[in-house]
Amino acid sequence: MPVVTRFAPSPTGLLHLGSAYSALIARDRAREAGGRFLVRIEDTDVRRCRREYETAILQDLKWLGLDWDGEVRRQSDHFSDYSHVLDRLGRRGLVYPCFCSRAEIAREIAASTSAPHAALHGPDGPLYPGTCRDLTPAERKRRIAAGREFCMRLDSARAAATVGPYDFVDEGRGRIVGQPLLMGDFVIARKDTPTSYHLAVTVDDHLQGITLVTRGEDILPSTHAHVLLQRLLGYATPLYAHHGLLTDRTGRRLAKRDRVTGIRSLRESGKTPADVFKLIRAGLEPGGPKA
């Protein structure tokens, strides 16, 4: 099978050393195998993403010589693909509307931490406590008719029972047993769009025929959720290669906001693409390549 990789930035800021490193890996892995390297703009968070950043990211990739194959796929142009899949999950009773505000969720979690069965924790903090999971169909209808805003969440316990045990392979780590409850009842569609990052990534990796997903190890917990969705939807599971994150001399992770690591400002200060690749290699040194 030909290798297809992708670089999938969210245009919430400019390209920086860390994201350029991800793009470089995806490009190299495709080129080494005589495969295809795709670029996808993940702009489903319509409030945080900006078209100016998208344009700048693509220009910076070109300047670095990281040329991609084919058209760039912009997720906000494909909302109907995601809502179609969301409907499929809905018909199988695998998702439910959640009317909770952030404040309500925080209150619910605070209340449960003082109870004997404290809130369950996921990789990013306490998990959604499931407040809306067991609302009756009539109550759901009433709230929707009353114009209450809602997002859609995956019923992870039901999804886990549907799928059964599953696993996936990370190149550097080997076979990993899927943990379907790791992310709890995560958001499948936000209040303002018919998708979330998790759903869009899963649908697009499938539609674009991605065979090798290269991305930062900070996203590894989400992979458990993505593979769960793949199994629910009958999609193939790609091979994963979660790579280590670039760090500065003190071992601190390079932040997106650091001006010094922005490709645009490096370029404006007279650095060449070769200098940028040197900086990336240096950023790998303190912790060593962790992939």
Q: Which residues bind ligand GLU (CB under 6 A)?
A: 8-10, 42, 201, 215, 219
Where are any strands of DSSP class E within the chain? 4-7, 36-41, 73-74, 95-98, 121-122, 125-126, 151-154, 167-170, 174-177, 187-189, 212-216, 239-243
The set of residues, in sequence order, having a beta carbon less than 8 Å from that of 30 and lying 6+ positions away, is 3, 4, 5, 36, 37, 69, 212
Would you say 14 or 100 has its CB closer to ligand GLU? 14
Would you say 27 or 215 has its CB closer to ligand GLU? 215
**Residue 1 C-beta: closest distance to ligand GLU, Å:** 20
**Residue 270 C-beta: closest distance to ligand GLU, Å:** 28
Task: Label each residue of 217-245 as H, E or C.
Answer: HHHHHHHHHHHHHHHHHCCCCCEEEEECC
* Residue that has been written with the tokens 């993403």 in this structure: 49
Would you say 158 or 215 has its CB closer to ligand GLU? 215
Is 256 part of the annotated catalytic residue set?
Answer: yes
Amino acid in position 230: Q
Q: Tell me which DSSP letter residue 44 carries.
A: -
Distance CA 139, CA 231 (A): 30
Would you say 22 or 247 has its CB closer to ligand GLU? 22
**Residue 129 C-beta: closest distance to ligand GLU, Å:** 26
Among candidate residues 256, 271, 278, 290, the one labeled active-site is 256
**Residue 148 C-beta: closest distance to ligand GLU, Å:** 29
**Residue 201 C-beta: closest distance to ligand GLU, Å:** 5
Tokens representing 63 are: 């300047």
Cα 212 to its chain centre, rounded Å, is 15
For residue 175, with 0-12 CB atoms within 10 Å meaning exposed, 13-18 middle and 19 or more buried, which class applies?
Answer: exposed
Would you say 3 or 8 has its CB closer to ligand GLU? 8
| Residues designated as active site | 256
